[in-house]
Amino acid sequence: MPKPVLPSCLLGVVALLAGAPIVAQAPMPPMPPTDAAPDCAAPATLPPPLAAWTRPVPMAAVGKAGALRRAVLQPDQAVTLALMPTPKVSYPVRPEKPGGSVSYGGLARFAVTQAGTWRVALGSGAWIDVVKDGRASVSVAHGHGPECSGIRKMVDYDLSPGTYALQVAANGSHSIRLLVTRLP
């Protein structure tokens, strides 16, 4: 009995579908750093909540929750946060994307004195969690920063007064610029 022959267009569809999971799981190529966008003629004009982005101060992250008193972020003050290799970080809550042994991460804390929407702006695509009382806060919005600003990622949270730990995970380099600010 002769074998059934599939029309060539159906073979193409089958081949495409068979390859789809492999393509979907392939890692994305790394994004170039956005701190120095070569096609930008001038730095972006930033809205008031992000104005401090251009004046970061150095700060070191810590590797465990018990040391958070040594890594205090001041709202509305950008920092260049020195991170450590991921295996040296003990996160209070396991990050959804913890990164591998060659990535970097760390912890810092910040105080919320007024309830509202708080934004964390990042200079890379690192994973972040905002943690209070052993629970990660759920983000309410996320996006990219203004063109030519160096802000690659922004994540918003509705937060109530209290002290929060900021977990940075899966960063590709040993430091990250970030800013925590309350939105008007």
**138 lies in some domain:** yes
**41 lies in some domain:** no
118: CATH: 2.60.120
pLDDT tens digits for range 17-57: 344 333 222 333 444 444 444 478 777 889 999 999 999 99
- The confidence score (pLDDT) of residue 1 equals 53
Angstrom distance (rounded) from CA 130 to CA 138: 8
Q: C-alpha angle with apex 166: 164 to 170, nearest 5 degrees?
A: 160
**87 lies in some domain:** yes
- The confidence score (pLDDT) of residue 42 equals 72
**pLDDT < 50: residue spans in the chain:** 5-38
**14 lies in some domain:** no
Domain count of the fold of the chain? 1
